[in-house]
A and B are shown apart, each in its own frame.
Chain A
Amino acid sequence: MSIEETEQEIIDEFELFDDWMQRYEHLIDLGKSMPLIKDLYKTEDKLIKGCQSSVWMHSELKDGNVFFTADSDAIITKGMVALMIRVLSGHTPEEIMHSKLNFIETIGLTKHLSPTRSNGLLSMIKQMKLDAIAYRSTFEN
Chain B
Amino acid sequence: MNFDINKIRADFPILSRKVNGKPLIYLDNGATTQKPKVVIDAIEDYYTNQNANIHRGVHTLSQEITVAYENARATVQKHLNAEHPHEIIFTKGTSDSINLVASSFGKKYISEGDEIIISAMEHHSNILPWQQVCEEKGAILKVIPINEQGELILSEYKRLLTVKTKIVAITHISNTLGTINPIEEIIALAHVKNIPVLIDGAQAVPHTSVDVQLLSADFYVFSGHKLFGPTGVGILYGKEKWLNELPPYQVGGGVIKTVTFEKTEYADLPLKFEAGTPNIEGAIGLAVAIDYINKIELNKIATYEHNLLVYATEALQKIEGVKIIGTAKNKASVISFVIEGLHPFDIGTILDQLGIAVRTGHHCTQPLMQFYGLQGTVRASFAFYNTQVEIDVFINGIERAIKMLR
Q: Which residues of A contact B (CB under 8 A)?
A: 20-21, 24-25, 28, 51-53, 73-77, 119
Contact = CB atoms under 8 A, between A and B. Distances in A.
A42 to B, nearest CB: 15
A21 B353 contact: yes
Contact of B349 (A21, A25, A76): A76
Interface of B: 20, 342-346, 348-350, 353, 360-361, 375-376, 404-405
Given A21-B404, A25-B404, A28-B405, A53 B345 contact: yes
A52 B346 CA distance: 10
A24 B345 contact: no
A73 B375 contact: yes
Nearest to B353: A20
A52 B376 contact: yes
20 contacts: A20-B20, A24-B350, A24-B353, A28-B346, A28-B405, A51-B361, A52-B344, A52-B345, A52-B360, A52-B361, A52-B376, A53-B343, A53-B345, A73-B343, A74-B346, A75-B405, A76-B346, A76-B349, A76-B350, A77-B345
A56 to B, nearest CB: 14
Contacts of B350: 24, 76
Among A28, A73, A75, the most chain B Cβ lie within 10 Å of the Cβ of A75
A119 B345 contact: yes
A51 to B, nearest CB: 6
A33 to B, nearest CB: 14
- Identify whether the interface residues of A are mostly helix, strand, loop, or mixed: helix
A76 B353 contact: no
Given A21-B404, A25-B404, A28-B405, A75 B346 contact: yes
Nearest to A51: B361
Nearest to B21: A20
A50 B189 CA distance: 41
A24 B404 contact: yes
Contacts of B20: 20
A55 to B, nearest CB: 11
A73 B375 CA distance: 10
A21 B342 CA distance: 17
A77 B404 CA distance: 14
A21 B20 CA distance: 12
Contacts of A73: 343, 375
Closest 10 CB pairs of A and B: A74-B343, A74-B345, A53-B345, A52-B345, A76-B346, A74-B346, A52-B361, A76-B349, A20-B353, A75-B346
Contacts of B348: 52
Nearest to A72: B343
Contacts of A21: 353, 404
Contacts of A51: 361
Contacts of B349: 24, 76
B361 A75 contact: no
